[in-house]
């Protein structure tokens, strides 16, 4: 996050000789810090490789493979057992089907036997009724014969014939009487013998009907017994079928459990193999990232060293920066006595104190600045960038940095103190800009809000290499130097270092500031 603690304070005059001596010292400090923190200056390179994934050993993978093999054998045996159980179930199903059809046959036979018994019973009843009717007819005929014989004996055959007609109750009776008379007239004994034969035949039919009834009853009884036997056979077959089904279900459960274990073992093998492959990919990525980091580090180091060499060789820029610094008040000193000299230079820690003299406080005014560059054009832009890039890796120090290089920071009673900025030699964001542009003869105040109005404001969408980028309301939070291609040079915050970062567009002010063109 950008540091919101940029502020402006007055400067204490420092002797020019000590200022010039400090220039060389600060370049040495910058070079030392550069090598230690170059990797942090390359955004998207450091810490790009994730932590290594698990890398299972060959023993782990072999053990997982053995577990799969053992589960395969177990599952195979259970599958064979299930196949055997299925075959047994099929046989039992066939047996039950046969026995079920046996029950159906017994039921059909039972119904047929019952129907036959019912028919035989009806025949027996009819025969008995016919036999009874025949006996009645014989008795009636016997009575009529006796009456006729008696009448014939007392009255003669002619009167008897006429009397039979006159005494009849209808045509049938007349015919019967006529028949009897005719039979009697032919042969009384023959008529009686015929009736007796009819009675005997009817008695024989009754006897046959009784026998048929007895046979039908026996068949029905046998059918009932076969039905009971068939039902018992079905019950036994179904019990066996259920037992076999239960056994099959048990085997299937065991198979499913073994299959689950097999799947888990296979998954474990696949997972270990995937982990091995992932680890191999990680190794390749790590090697590529290490090579990229090494190349980027070498390139950054070379760029920073070259920039530092150009800055060190540019005596004119050094002189311009020293001239600007000469006679400036130190921004870490709150003593209003501008005439008092001191042996403390800008690299000495100074804690704000209460002034010893009682004077009427003066209204703070914006410090005088020189915004007219001594050099212009693309060479001036590159000189400012070179000066800033030469400080890559130098620690962030709140309140640190001036025209000649890094200085000790100051206390803020909070975040900066927790990082020990007051005891670090380095730059904060606006201090880095002061150093970068001092070589062009440009004097900037140590406050981002004032730096925002120090040069020509251009829309941020039109910023060019060498422009200053600002963040926060009225540029009150942060400033960085635009390098082009979406990159910027900045001293970001306590605990960090001067580095190159991707441009952050969130929170950016509407304008960038162009100091030289």
- Which pLDDT score is estimated for 20? 46
Rounded to two decimals, the pTM is 0.48
Domain-embedded: residue 495: yes
478 catalytic, yes or no?
yes
The pLDDT-based confidence of 459 (bands split at 50, 70, 90) is very high
Pick 367 or 325 by higher pLDDT. 325
Residues 244 and 338 occupy one common structural domain: no
Question: Based on the structure, what is the number of domains in the chain?
Answer: 2
CA 119/CA 217 separation, integer angstroms: 11
Give the CA angle between residues 282, 501, 374 to the nearest 5°.
150
Which residue, 262, 284, 306, sits at the end of a domain? 284
Residues 253 and 378 occupy one common structural domain: no
Q: What is the pLDDT of residues 389-408, one digit of tens each?
A: 999 999 999 999 999 999 99
- Which pLDDT score is estimated for 343? 36
Give the CA angle between residues 511, 512, 515 to the nearest 5°.
135
CA 307/CA 432 separation, integer angstroms: 15
Residues 100 and 154 occupy one common structural domain: yes
- Which pLDDT score is estimated for 129? 82
- Token pair for 461: 């969408």
Range of the domain at 467: 16-36+314-352+370-514
CA 7/CA 433 separation, integer angstroms: 14
Residues 320 and 245 occupy one common structural domain: no
The pLDDT-based confidence of 422 (bands split at 50, 70, 90) is very high
Residues 275 and 138 occupy one common structural domain: yes
Q: What is the pLDDT of residues 217-237, one digit of tens each?
A: 888 888 888 888 888 888 888
Q: Is the pLDDT confidence value at 300 over 70?
A: yes
Give the 3-state DSSP-derived string for 64-132, with helices as H, strands as E and coil as C. HHHHHHHHHHHHHHHHHHHHHHHHHHHHHHHHHHHHHHHHHHHHHHHHHHHHHHHHHHHHHHHHHHHHH
Catalytic residue among 6, 244, 331, 478: 478
Which residue, 269, 284, 299, sits at the end of a domain? 284
Contacts of 297 (CB under 8 A, 6+ apart): 38, 39, 42
Catalytic residue among 244, 331, 429, 446: 429
CA 176/CA 171 separation, integer angstroms: 8
Domain-embedded: residue 309: no
CA 11/CA 14 separation, integer angstroms: 9
User: Phi and psi (nearest 5°) for 235?
Assistant: -60, -45
- Which pLDDT score is estimated for 431? 96
What Å distances lie between residue 99 and 9, 12, 203, 227, 412, CA to CA?
112, 119, 45, 11, 102
The pLDDT-based confidence of 468 (bands split at 50, 70, 90) is very high
The pLDDT-based confidence of 171 (bands split at 50, 70, 90) is low
The pLDDT-based confidence of 213 (bands split at 50, 70, 90) is confident
Residues 163 and 249 occupy one common structural domain: yes
- Token pair for 436: 């970068």
The whole-chain average pLDDT of the chain stands at 78
Catalytic residue among 6, 244, 403, 490: 490
490 catalytic, yes or no?
yes
Q: Alpha carbon 43 to chain centroid distance? A: 34
462 catalytic, yes or no?
no
| SS3 label, residue 52 | coil
CATH classification at residue 240: 1.10.287
Burial of 116: CB neighbours in 10 Å, binned 0-12, 13-18, 19+? middle
| SS3 label, residue 3 | coil
How many CB atoms are located within 10 Å of the residue 441 CB? 21
Determine what percent of the chain is predicted with pLDDT higher than 70: 74
Average pLDDT over residues 96-103: 78
Domain-embedded: residue 363: no
- Which pLDDT score is estimated for 370? 60
Residues 84 and 233 occupy one common structural domain: yes
Domain-embedded: residue 305: no
Determine what percent of the chain is predicted with pLDDT higher than 90: 27
How many CB atoms are located within 10 Å of the residue 222 CB? 14
Q: What is the pLDDT of residues 1-19, one digit of tens each?
A: 445 454 444 344 444 444 4
| SS3 label, residue 42 | coil
Q: Is the pLDDT confidence value at 367 over 60?
A: no
Q: What is the pLDDT of residues 144-168, one digit of tens each?
A: 777 766 776 666 554 445 555 556 6
Pick 489 or 257 by higher pLDDT. 489
Contacts of 77 (CB under 8 A, 6+ apart): none
CATH classification at residue 407: 3.90.1720.10
Q: What is the pLDDT of residues 100-142, one digit of tens each?
A: 777 787 788 888 888 887 888 888 888 778 778 877 877 777 7
């Amino acid at each position: 996050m950008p540091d919101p603690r940029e502020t402006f304070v007055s400067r204490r005059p420092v002797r020019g000789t000590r200022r010039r001596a400090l220039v060389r010292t600060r370049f040495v400090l910058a070079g030392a810090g550069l090598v230690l923190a170059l990797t942090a200056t390359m955004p998207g390179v450091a810490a790009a490789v994730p932590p290594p994934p698990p890398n299972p050993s060959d023993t782990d993978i072999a053990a997982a493979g053995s577990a799969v093999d053992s589960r395969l054998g177990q599952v195979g045996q259970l599958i064979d057992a299930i196949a055997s159980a299925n075959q047994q179930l099929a046989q039992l199903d066939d047996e039950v089907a046969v026995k079920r059809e046996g029950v159906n046959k017994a039921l059909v036979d039972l119904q047929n036997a019952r129907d036959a018994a019912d028919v035989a019973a009806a025949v027996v009843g009819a025969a008995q009724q016919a036999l009874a009717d025949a006996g009645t007819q014989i008795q009636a005929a016997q009575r009529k014969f006796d009456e006729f014989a008696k009448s014939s004996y007392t009255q003669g055959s002619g009167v008897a014939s006429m009397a039979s007609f006159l005494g009849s109750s209808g045509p049938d009776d007349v015919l019967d009487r006529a028949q009897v008379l005719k039979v009697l007239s032919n042969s009384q004994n023959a008529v009686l013998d015929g009736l007796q034969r009819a009675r005997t035949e009817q008695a024989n039919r009754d006897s046959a009907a009784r026998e048929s009834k007895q046979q039908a009853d026996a068949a029905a009884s046998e059918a009932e017994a076969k039905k009971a036997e068939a039902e018992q056979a079905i019950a036994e077959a179904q019990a066996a079928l259920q037992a076999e089904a239960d056994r099959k279900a048990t085997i299937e459960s065991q198979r499913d459990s073994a299959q689950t274990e097999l799947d888990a073992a296979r998954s474990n093998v696949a997972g270990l193999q995937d982990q091995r492959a992932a680890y191999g990919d990680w190794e390749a990525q790590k090697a590529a990232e290490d090579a990229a980091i090494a190349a980027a580090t070498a390139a950054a180091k070379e760029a920073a060293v070259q920039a530092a060499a150009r800055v060190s060789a540019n005596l004119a820029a050094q002189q311009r920066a020293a001239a600007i610094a000469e006679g400036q008040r130190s921004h870490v000193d709150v003593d209003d006595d501008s005439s008092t000299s001191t042996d403390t230079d800008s690299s000495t820690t100074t804690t704000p104190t209460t002034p010893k003299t009682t004077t009427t406080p003066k209204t703070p005014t914006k410090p005088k600045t020189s915004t007219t560059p001594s050099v212009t054009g693309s060479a001036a832009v590159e000189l400012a960038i070179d000066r800033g890039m030469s400080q890559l890796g130098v620690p962030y120090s709140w309140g640190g940095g001036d025209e000649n290089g890094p200085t000790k920071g100051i206390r803020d009673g909070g975040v900066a103190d927790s990082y020990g900025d007051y005891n670090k030699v380095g730059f904060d964001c606006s201090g880095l800009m002061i150093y970068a542009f001092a070589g062009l003869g440009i004097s900037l105040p140590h406050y981002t809000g004032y730096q925002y109005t120090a040069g020509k404001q251009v829309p941020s969408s039109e910023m060019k290499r060498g422009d200053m980028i600002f963040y926060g309301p009225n540029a009150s939070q942060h400033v960085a130097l635009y390098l082009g291609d979406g990159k910027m040079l900045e001293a970001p915050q306590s605990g960090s270092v001067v580095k190159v970062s991707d441009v952050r567009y969130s929170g950016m002010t509407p304008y960038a500031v162009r100091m030289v063109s």
